[in-house]
Structure 1
Amino acid sequence: MIAAIFAFSSQSYQAQNIQPFLKHALSKETAERIIPNLNIRYDGKSYQRDVNPFGLIEFLFRKGAHLFVYGSLASAAALVLRTFRARESVAVSLSLLAVLIVASLDEWNQRYSSERTPTVQDIFVDLIGGLIGLAICYAISRLFRRARRAYSLRSRRDR
């Protein structure tokens, strides 16, 4: 997963640009219809549905990818740490530290990639992704624990 993050951050913006695909797959009217009327300012740029819906879709896709990838990274790190019997608070803290380190190195790596600009804002997006991933991971874990406990209680009662 970390290798994939660095492989993508080493690519130029043009190598990752999905706007040509979007323009081929969707008409401007369709693109404007499927996304809400948003005006997002991020890193000194403005992304607006009415000005460039394809740019807004790409922006949302890219930031969504950050949330997903770093959420997955944090969840995987926490699950590995929990298999070594790390306390929940330690697993969460170390997982978020891993996200912070990888995200910082990812942004540093982008300094050397053509047409890419490293931003501290992206590190915060990545940390939010890590937090969301951990929240989902622990919510699912608790659901499984409750279900297992309920099943165990029922099977004891039925004996």
Structure 2
Amino acid sequence: MKKFIVILILIALLVGLAISSSQTYEQQSLVSTLEQLLPDEPGKAVLSELEFSYWDRIISVDERGYYYFVEFLIRKAAHFLTFGFLSLVIYWVLPKRKGRLLGAALLTLILACADELHQSFTGGRTATLQDVYLDMAGAITFLFIVAVVQFIRAIRKI
């Protein structure tokens, strides 16, 4: 029963990714919502200190504005967390064999590449290798945590 639920979660994640990748930036934009939720621009002084180079552009509060910058951070955090969680679900679905962590990472990499490829066919979206790197950073981080937990459990049994 547990495996069935995990498979349903995997399917839901994959459907969610497919829907998300097929939407234009305008359909997904959070800027107007952020303007309503954060009218006083909390944390602007701290955020103004940050700057990222992304797709040969500088992303900062000064360059893009507070709300676009916050949205950028939310979008990139979503990549990291979504693919991190996806790698865990894939790990749980795979049979308990040696190489399971590596298998989950490789399958997540394939899905991250497929997601970016899918985005490349969507108007107003940019497919970048940087997002695949970010997706895999999430996956590797989450799978590393699994490995550490497994290691600690193994030590406790000794």
5+ residue gaps, structure 1: 151-159
Q: Secondary structure at the match of 1:121?
A: helix
Picking from 38, 57, 68, the partner of 1:45 is: 57
Name 1:157's counterpart in structure 2: none
TM-score, normalised relative to structure 2: 0.81
Picking from 102, 105, 122, the partner of 1:93 is: 102
Name 1:12's counterpart in structure 2: 24
Describe the shift of the 1:60–1:104 C-alpha distance in structure 2 as closer, same or farther (beyond 3 A): same
Q: Distance in 1 between matches of 2:152 and 2:127?
A: 38
Cα deviation digits, residues 111-134 of structure 1 (max 9, x gap): 221210111111111111110110
> RMSD value over aligned CA atoms?
2.0
Please tell me whether residue 120 in structure 1 is matched to residue 129 in structure 2: yes
| Offset at residue 30 of structure 1 (A) | 2.3
Please tell me whether residue 66 in structure 1 is matched to residue 75 in structure 2: no
5+ residue gaps, structure 2: 1-12
Please tell me whether residue 102 in structure 1 is matched to residue 111 in structure 2: yes
Percent identity over the alignment is 26
TM-score, normalised relative to structure 1: 0.81
Runs of 4+ in 1 over 6 A off after TM superposition: none
Q: Distance in 1 between matches of 2:32 and 2:43?
A: 13
Cα deviation digits, residues 48-75 of structure 1 (max 9, x gap): 1234121221111111111111111111
8 Å CA contact 1:71–1:130 kept in 2: the answer is yes
Describe the shift of the 1:36–1:75 C-alpha distance in structure 2 as closer, same or farther (beyond 3 A): farther
Name 1:32's counterpart in structure 2: 44
Structure of higher CA gyration radius = 1
